[in-house]
Amino acid sequence: MPTFDFSAIEQCSNEELDARVDRARLPRHVAVIMDGNGRWAKARFMPRIAGHYEGMKSVREVVTGCREIGIQALTLYAFSQENWKRPSEEIGLLMKLMESYLQTELSLLLEQDIRFMTIGRTELLPKPVLEWIQKVETATRDCQTMILTVAVSYGGRGEIVDALRGIIEDYRDGKVTIHDIDEALVEQHLYTAALPELDLLIRTSGEARISNFLLWQIAYAELHLTKTLWPDFRRRELLVALLDYQTRERRFGGTTAPDLTGTSGA
Ligand code: IPE
Ligand code: IPE
Ligand code: MG
C-alpha cells in the first residue's frame, strides 16, 4: 500500500502532488457534498450568495481537474430536498446562479467531452432552470470522457422511495417476481443506475454528516472529510483528497491479513 506523508504536505507544490497521484488507482466515481459557502461569505462580511458565487469557481476547477486526472464520474451535491426550507430569497438567487452556470458552462462541457446529467426531483425547479438542464443534458448526451452528475432537489431517502415505486410498478406489470428483487435490481432503479460504483465521498466545511446524500451508494465508499470551505476547495484540495483515498486499504468486509493457520484454503 503506497503511503503518503501528509505531515509534509505544506511543502509540496501542486505539481508534486499531481505527480504523486497514481493514475492506475483512481476512484472511478467521486461525489462531493459542497458545503460551507455561507460561512465563507460570512467570514468576509459578505452576503451568503457571494459564497455560492465563489463556490461556482470551485465547481469549474474540480470538474476540469477530475476530467484531466481521469476520473470517470463526478457527482456534485448542489441543492438538497431539504434546502427548499431556506429563505425564498436565497433559493431564488441559487436558482439564478444555476441557470447562469448552465448557460456559461455548456460550451466548456462540450469542449471537454463531459456528459452532464442531473439527479433529484428536478420537476420542482423553476421552469427556466429545468429548460437549461434539459438543453445541456441533450447537448452533451454523446460526450464520453467523464460524466458530471449534479444532484439538485435531491434526497437520498427520496431516491430509495422512487426506486421502490419503480420496482412495485414492474411487479404489478408482471415484469419482475418477488424472487427477482435483489441488490442489483434495486441499483438498476436508482437515479445513479448508469454510474460506476461510488468509491470516494468528499465533504467540505468540517461537518461530519451525510445530509441525505447517496444513502444507498455510500455503503463502501471511502470518506474524505476536510475543514476547507467549498469556495476554497480547488485543484490542490482535490489532489489531496485523491492522495488520501490512495492511502486507504479497501477491504469490503474481507481481510487481507494472512490466514491464522498459515495455510491457504481450509
Ligand atoms: C452549501 O453551502 C451550498 C448549499 C447547500 C446550497 P451552505 O449554503 O450550506 O453554506 P454554510 O453551510 O451555511 O456555510
Ligand atoms: C448539504 O449541505 C447539501 C448540499 C451541499 C447541497 P447543507 O448545508 O444543506 O447540510 P446541513 O444542513 O448542514 O446538514
Ligand atoms: Mg451548509
Q: 23-52: per-residue pLDDT in tens?
A: 999 999 999 999 999 999 999 999 999 999
Nearest-CA residue for atom 9 of ligand 2: 83
Main-chain phi, psi angles of 75, to 5 degrees: -120, 125
Q: Where are the beta strands (DSSP E) in 155-230?
A: 200-203, 222-225
**How far are the Cα atoms of 202, 229, 257 from residue 226, in angstroms, in the given order?**
8, 8, 30
Q: Are 242 and 69 in contact (CB under 8 A)?
A: yes
54 lines ligand 1 (CB under 6 A): no
Average pLDDT, the chain: 96
* Residue ranges, the chain, pLDDT below 70: 1-3, 262-266
Atom number in ligand 2 closest to CA 154 = 6
In whole angstroms, give the CA distance from residue 59 to residue 68: 14
Q: Find out whether 136 and 106 touch, Cβ atoms under 8 Å.
A: yes
The CA dihedral of 154, 150, 215, 28, to the nearest 10 degrees, is 170
The residue from 5, 14, 35, 173 that is catalytic is: 35
Query: Is CATH 3.40.1180.10 correct for 26-154+198-245?
Result: yes
SS3 of residue 149 by DSSP: strand
Distance 207 CA to ligand 3 centre (A): 9
Q: Where are the domains of the chain?
A: 26-154+198-245
Distance, CA 35 to ligand 1 centroid (Å)? 5
How far apart, in whole angstroms, are the C-alpha atoms of residue 42 and residue 229? 12
> Which amino acid is residue 243, in one-letter code?
L
Strand, coil or helix: 21: coil
State in Å: Cα 256 to ligand 2 middle.
36
- CA-wise closest residue to 52 among 208, 224, 229: 229
What pTM was computed for the model? 0.95
Strand order in the sheet with 222-225: 114-119, 146-154, 73-80, 29-33, 200-203, 222-225
Output the pLDDT for position 265: 47
What gap in Å lies between CA 29 and CA 13, rounded to an integer?
Answer: 25
Q: What is the pLDDT of residue 257?
A: 86
Residue 83 annotated to the active site: yes
Question: Residue 32 pairs with which residues in a beta bridge?
Answer: 76, 202
Q: Is 35 a catalytic residue?
A: yes
Taking Cα atoms as reference points, which of 18, 19, 30 lies closest to residue 63?
30
CA of residue 198 to ligand 2 center, whole Å = 19
Among 32, 33, 35, 96, residue to substitute to test ligand 1 (most atoms within 8 Å of Cβ): 35
Which DSSP string corresponds to 51-77? Answer: HHHHHHHHHHHHHHHHHHHT-SEEEEE
Helix (H), strand (E), coil (C) string for 22-54 = CHHHCCCEEEEECCCHHHHHHCCCCCHHHHHHH
User: pLDDT digits over 131-166, tens only?
Assistant: 999 999 999 999 999 999 999 999 999 999 999 999
* Residue 240 Cβ < 6 Å to ligand 2: no
Burial label, 221 (beta-carbon count in 10 A; 0-12, 13-18, 19+): buried
Q: Which of 37, 57, 154, 225 to mutate to test the pocket of ligand 1 (most atoms within 8 A of CB)?
A: 37
Q: Judge if the beta carbon of residue 35 lies within 6 A of ligand 2.
A: yes
Counting from 1 in the atom list of ligand 1, the atom nearest the Cα of 36 is 14
- Give the phi and the psi of residue 73 in degrees, each rounded to 5: -140, 135
* Distance between Cα 148 and ligand 3 center (Å): 21
**What pLDDT does 10 receive?**
86
pLDDT at 266: 42
CB atoms within 10 A of CB 70: 13
Atom number of ligand 2 nearest to Cα 230 = 5
